[in-house]
Copies of this chain bind each other. A is one copy, B any other.
Amino acid sequence: MSDGGPPTVVSIAERAGVSIASVSRVLNGVGARPETVRRVERAAAELGYVPNAVAQSLKGGRTKQLTFAMQDIGNPVYVAMVRQIQAVARAAGYRLLLHSTDAVIEDELAVVRSLGDRTSDGLILCPIRITPEHVEVLTAAAGPVVVIGSLPQGVPVDAVQADSVLGARLAVTHLVESGRRRIAFVNGPLDTVPGHNRRQGYLKALAEGGVVPDPSLERATSFGLGAGREALHDLLDAGTAPDAVFCANDQLALGAAQAAHERGLRIPEEMAVVGMDDSDLARACWPPLSSVDLGSEERGRTAARMLLERLSDTPDDRQDAAPEPGGPRPGAARRVTTAPRLVVRASSAAAPTADATAARGGVR
Report the nearest B residue to A228, measured CB to CB.
B284
Stretch at the interface among A49-57, A122-130, A154-162: A49-57
> Is A332's beta carbon under 8 Å from chain B?
no
Minimum CB–CB distance from A258 to chain B (whole Å) comes to 6
> In the complex, are the beta carbons of A319 and B4 less than 8 A apart?
yes
Scoring A142, A251, A283, A319 by chain B CB atoms within 10 A of each residue's CB, the highest score goes to A283
Q: How many copies does the complex hold?
A: 2
Report the nearest B residue to A56, measured CB to CB.
B117
If the complex has contacts A100-B86, A325-B6, are A119 and B54 also in contact, measured as CB distance less than 8 A?
yes
Report the nearest B residue to A261, measured CB to CB.
B286
If the complex has contacts A54-B54, A73-B79, A142-B50, are A362 and B114 also in contact, measured as CB distance less than 8 A?
no
If the complex has contacts A6-B142, A74-B83, A319-B4, are A264 and B50 also in contact, measured as CB distance less than 8 A?
no
Give the complex CA separation of A99 and B326 in angstroms: 27
> Is A134's beta carbon under 8 Å from chain B?
no
Q: What residues of chain B lie closer than 8 Å to A90, measured between beta carbons? A: 100
If the complex has contacts A285-B286, A286-B285, are A63 and B54 also in contact, measured as CB distance less than 8 A?
yes
The 9 tightest CB contacts between A and B, nearest first, are A50-B116, A53-B117, A4-B319, A262-B364, A254-B284, A53-B119, A54-B57, A261-B286, A264-B360
Instruction: Offer 29 A-B interface pairs, CB within 8 angstroms, sorted by A.
Output: A4-B319, A5-B325, A6-B325, A6-B326, A48-B116, A50-B114, A50-B117, A50-B142, A52-B58, A54-B63, A54-B119, A72-B83, A73-B79, A73-B86, A74-B83, A90-B100, A96-B98, A96-B99, A97-B97, A233-B364, A258-B284, A262-B363, A262-B364, A263-B364, A264-B360, A264-B362, A281-B284, A285-B285, A285-B286
Give the interface of A toward B (CB within 8 A). Answer: 4-6, 48, 50-55, 57-58, 63, 65, 72-74, 79-80, 82-83, 86-87, 90, 95-100, 113-114, 116-119, 140, 142, 225, 233, 251, 254-255, 257-258, 261-264, 280-281, 283-288, 318-319, 325-326, 360, 362-364
